[in-house]
């Protein structure tokens, strides 16, 4: 199948190269958002551990005295063509169906620190946020290929466990554009660096993006939380589930932190949960001897209103960088 799709991938790569060249020459215009702008994106589809990086960037901006706003498309929301203010920075205003699961997750993680807007037109969304919320800095979520919005810092996340998506372009593989596009990056973060040998990946990245700063990152579970928002003790026997672009990485994270996994259920990315899903998982979890269900923040925001007969917790995952101070300087110098 991949071999049959390679010609389409080659065509897609030529189109992306031509598009990038038009932006590089100024034939296509990149619009300033009117404030310091940092893009966090990927070179591949699927989960690369980007969301904790987006949250970290917003936290660093807030700590530096900025009033940041995250601009995101909000994949999987009910009306993708509508602008939705997910959070004004002080409260979460919509549910995951309206605002999208990742935007709502970020909104809860960043209460008191950053606003979150979901809009396919991020240039227009930025103008509205600056006028109505007093925003002084923007974070483009999944913005590497969204070149219509100008940015001061371009950050690309690369998963150490599968850095280049098999090396094939869409639709034959998971590359969103040719690897040469990495030369636009100001910083590259190799995520999940504790789960794989990063030497070859780092060498390849240095060849492709000679001027980029390279950081290594690892995820860690900061705490466990009940669906009602209360902190929970570390569980012993868990039955994890998730609907992520790369669900296996969630399971690997739990194993790396010595949690005893009794079973695992993976749903499609951005899955909308139903009571029948919960009922089936609870039966499997009880049969396996699990004390609780365990999921991610992205999934937890979609579980409101569903009934559970055993506890359901979510793991708050935070990121640790090998050189946080250098990263902080890179972020704050743009604002």
Q: Give CA–CA dist 113/56, Å, rounded.
A: 11
Range list of H helices, the chain: 2-25, 50-63, 96-99, 101-109, 122-133, 199-208, 247-256, 275-288, 297-300, 324-332
User: Into how many domains does the chain fold?
Assistant: 2
User: 232: domain range?
Assistant: 222-317
C-alpha triplet 93, 328, 69: angle, nearest 5°: 20
275 shares its domain with 327: no
Q: How high is the pLDDT of residue 164?
A: 92
Q: Is 40 strand, coil or helix? A: strand
212 shares its domain with 245: no
Q: Give CA–CA dist 230/301, Å, rounded.
A: 14
87 shares its domain with 227: no
Q: At what angle do helices 324-332 and 50-63 cross, to 10 degrees?
A: 70
Provide the 10 A C-beta neighbour count for residue 65.
10
178 shares its domain with 51: yes
171 shares its domain with 227: no
pLDDT in tens, 156-208: 999 999 999 888 999 999 999 999 999 999 999 999 999 899 999 999 999 99
105 shares its domain with 214: yes
67 shares its domain with 205: yes
Q: How high is the pLDDT of residue 75?
A: 85
158 shares its domain with 51: yes
CATH number of the domain at 79, please. 3.40.50.300
37 shares its domain with 169: yes
130 shares its domain with 256: no
204 shares its domain with 179: yes
pLDDT in tens, 62-107: 999 999 999 999 888 889 889 999 999 999 999 999 999 999 999 9
CATH number of the domain at 233, please. 3.40.50
144 shares its domain with 179: yes
Low-confidence ranges of the chain (pLDDT < 50): none
């Amino acid at each position: 199948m991949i071999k049959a799709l390679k010609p389409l991938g080659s065509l897609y790569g030529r189109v992306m190269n031509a598009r990038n060249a038009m932006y590089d020459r100024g034939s296509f215009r990149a619009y300033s958002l009117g404030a310091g702008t940092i893009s966090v994106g990927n070179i591949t589809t699927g989960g690369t551990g980007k969301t904790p990086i987006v949250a970290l960037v917003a936290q660093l901006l807030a700590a530096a005295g900025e009033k940041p706003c995250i601009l995101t498309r909000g994949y999987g929301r009910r009306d993708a063509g509508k602008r939705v203010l997910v959070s004004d920075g002080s409260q979460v205003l919509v549910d995951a169906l309206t605002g999208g699961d990742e935007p709502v997750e970020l909104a809860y993680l960043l209460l008191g620190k950053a606003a979150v807007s979901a809009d396919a037109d991020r240039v227009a969304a930025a103008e509205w946020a600056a006028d109505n919320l007093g925003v002084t800095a923007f974070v483009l979520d999944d913005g590497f290929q969204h070149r219509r919005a100008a940015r001061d810092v371009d950050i690309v996340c690369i998963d150490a466990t599968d850095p280049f998506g098999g090396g094939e372009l869409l639709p034959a593989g998971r590359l969103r554009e040719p690897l040469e596009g990495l030369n636009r990056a100001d910083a590259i973060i190799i995520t999940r660096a504790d789960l794989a040998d990063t030497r070859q990946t780092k060498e390849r990245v240095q060849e492709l993006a000679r001027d980029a700063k390279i950081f290594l990152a690892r995820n860690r579970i900061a705490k466990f939380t009940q669906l009602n928002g209360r902190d929970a003790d570390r569980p012993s026997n868990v039955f994890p589930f998730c609907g992520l672009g790369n669900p296996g990485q969630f399971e690997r994270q739990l194993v790396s932190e010595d949690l005893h996994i009794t079973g695992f259920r993976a749903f499609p990315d951005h899955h909308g949960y139903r009571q029948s899903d919960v009922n089936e998982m609870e039966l499997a979890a009880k049969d396996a001897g699990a004390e609780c269900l365990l999921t991610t923040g992205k999934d937890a925001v979609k579980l409101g209103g569903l009934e559970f007969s055993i506890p359901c917790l979510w793991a708050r995952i935070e990121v640790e960088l090998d050189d946080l101070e250098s990263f902080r300087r890179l972020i704050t110098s743009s604002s």
